[in-house]
């Protein structure tokens, strides 16, 4: 009887070891944002009497991509493992869109052949920007996601549904990787949308090529039939000046992209420059960013500065201020502060 119980316990332990528990991770990033909005006189005049907007000043609590996730892997063979991730948006400031799917997928990773995943995920084009956008975490205020021209606040920043993606291992021993993805339309149509002229039955495609080594990050990305874009391409890069033996703590970033939009005569041409400086012997990091989009008569620009205070590895305080100007629409002046906790 004792031998039977011992054998059962060993078997149970073996099963537990073979099926490792997933890693639980996430972050809570809550900010208080003051926004002063002033509408363009021409825009206000063109609106109807019932819809003409008024200038306003507001204070809002914003959840900046707060999330909870579960991820893990399971060895299938000596060279291949199953990988998975379930990641969901949470909003600690209200009850809207709780547990909305973020990067959620299942896939296979091979030691030498690369990784294949299927599910919902950021496009390779989006990920190509790396850390060039130093306000990326402030998704609803000062990030490139929000700084687009009138009518467009999400150029290139897509998380695609029904996506199958492949990421290569490093190519020929160089610090270069290639990623390609298709977003399946899952619709059998051969017609264009009346509103956007987009082919409703066509799949979307995205790809990137990335070099990343010794503090130098360079990337190129391409989108086709993604979101509001017929085609788009971007170049992005960051350089850690400390690793270049120049200025310790300073990282510079830049991005340029061109988006050919459905049902628009003009391409949207966006460029970004940024800098981030970790002040020596202090928990402070200063950062600044400029974004400009040339889009016919509806240009936009952003100027933003901020600071981060590292309480510890998991907790960071944020302060920032910026202005987003959109021609023929409105100007937003934003001042905010908040705290971010990662686990």
Q: What is the 3-state secondary structure (H, E, C) of 79-115?
A: CEEEEEEEEEECCCCCCCCCCEECCEEEEEEECCCEE
Q: How do residues 83-128 score in pLDDT, each as one tens digit?
A: 999 999 999 998 887 899 999 999 999 999 999 999 999 999 999 9
Does 270 fall in a domain? yes
Sequence-distant (≥ 6) Cβ neighbours of residue 202 within 8 angstroms: 185, 225
Does 13 fall in a domain? no
E strands present in the chain: 23-39, 56-63, 67-75, 80-89, 100-101, 104-110, 114-122, 159-167, 176-183, 204-213, 216-226, 229-240, 250-261, 268-278, 284-294, 300-310, 315-326, 330-342
Residue-range definition of the domain harbouring residue 66? 25-342
Residue 172 structure tokens:
């020929």
Considering all CA atoms of the chain, what is the largest pairwise distance in Å, rounded to the nearest integer? Answer: 88
Structural domain count of the chain = 1
Q: How do residues 36-54 score in pLDDT, each as one tens digit?
A: 999 998 888 887 655 778 8
Pairing, β 330-342 against β 104-110:
unpaired
Instruction: Give the pLDDT band (50/70/90) at residue 7.
Output: very low
What pLDDT does 6 receive?
40
Q: Rounding to the nearest 10 degrees, give the CA dihedral for residues 280, 284, 285, 287.
A: -130
What residues pair up with 86 in beta bridges, in sequence order? 70
- Is pLDDT at 4 greater than 60 in this prediction? no
Query: Is the pTM of the predicted complex or chain greater than 0.75?
Result: yes
Instruction: Give the pLDDT band (50/70/90) at residue 326.
Output: very high
What pLDDT does 12 receive?
42
Residue 259 structure tokens:
């988006």
Tell the residue number behind the tokens 């990773």, with chain if given.
Answer: 109
Q: Rounding to the nearest 10 degrees, give the CA dihedral for residues 167, 184, 260, 302.
A: -70
Q: How do residues 227-250 score in pLDDT, each as one tens digit?
A: 888 999 999 999 999 999 999 999
Instruction: Give the pLDDT band (50/70/90) at residue 191.
Output: low
Does 8 fall in a domain? no
Dist CA 114 CA 87 (whole Å): 22
Does 14 fall in a domain? no
- Look up the CATH number of the domain holding residue 232: 2.40.160.10
User: 10 Å Cβ neighbour count for 252?
Assistant: 18
* pLDDT, averaged across the chain: 90
Does 10 fall in a domain? no
């Amino acid at each position: 009887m004792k031998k039977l119980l011992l054998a059962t316990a060993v078997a149970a332990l073996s099963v537990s070891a073979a099926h490792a528990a997933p890693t639980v991770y996430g972050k809570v990033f809550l900010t208080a944002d003051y926004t002063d909005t002033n509408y363009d006189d021409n825009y206000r005049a063109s609106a109807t009497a019932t819809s003409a907007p008024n200038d306003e000043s507001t204070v809002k609590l914003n959840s900046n991509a707060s999330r909870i996730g579960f991820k893990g892997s399971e060895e299938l063979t000596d060279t291949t493992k199953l990988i998975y991730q379930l990641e969901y948006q949470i909003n600690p400031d209200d009850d809207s869109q709780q547990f909305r799917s973020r990067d959620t997928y299942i896939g296979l990773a091979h030691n030498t052949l690369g990784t294949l995943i299927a599910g919902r995920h950021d496009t390779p084009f989006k990920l190509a920007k790396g850390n060039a956008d130093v306000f990326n975490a402030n998704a609803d205020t000062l990030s490139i996601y929000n700084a687009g021209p009138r009518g467009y606040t999400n150029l290139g920043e897509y998380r695609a549904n029904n996506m199958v993606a492949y990421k290569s291992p490093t190519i020929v021993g160089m610090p270069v990787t290639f990623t390609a993805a298709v977003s399946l339309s899952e619709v059998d149509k051969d017609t264009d949308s009346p509103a956007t002229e987009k082919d409703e039955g066509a799949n979307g495609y995205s790809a990137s090529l990335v070099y990343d080594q010794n503090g130098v990050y360079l990337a190129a990305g391409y989108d086709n039939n993604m979101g509001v874009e017929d085609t788009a391409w971007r170049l992005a890069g960051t350089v850690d000046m400390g690793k270049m033996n120049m200025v310790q703590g300073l990282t510079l970033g830049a991005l340029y992209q061109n988006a050919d939009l459905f049902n628009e005569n003009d391409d949207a041409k966006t460029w970004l420059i940024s800098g981030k400086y970790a002040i020596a012997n202090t928990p402070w990091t200063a950062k600044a960013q400029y974004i400009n989009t040339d889009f016919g008569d509806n240009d936009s620009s952003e100027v933003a500065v901020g600071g981060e205070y590292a309480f510890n590895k998991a907790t960071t305080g944020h302060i920032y201020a910026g202005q987003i100007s959109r021609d023929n629409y409105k100007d937003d002046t934003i001042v905010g502060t908040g705290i971010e906790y990662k686990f």
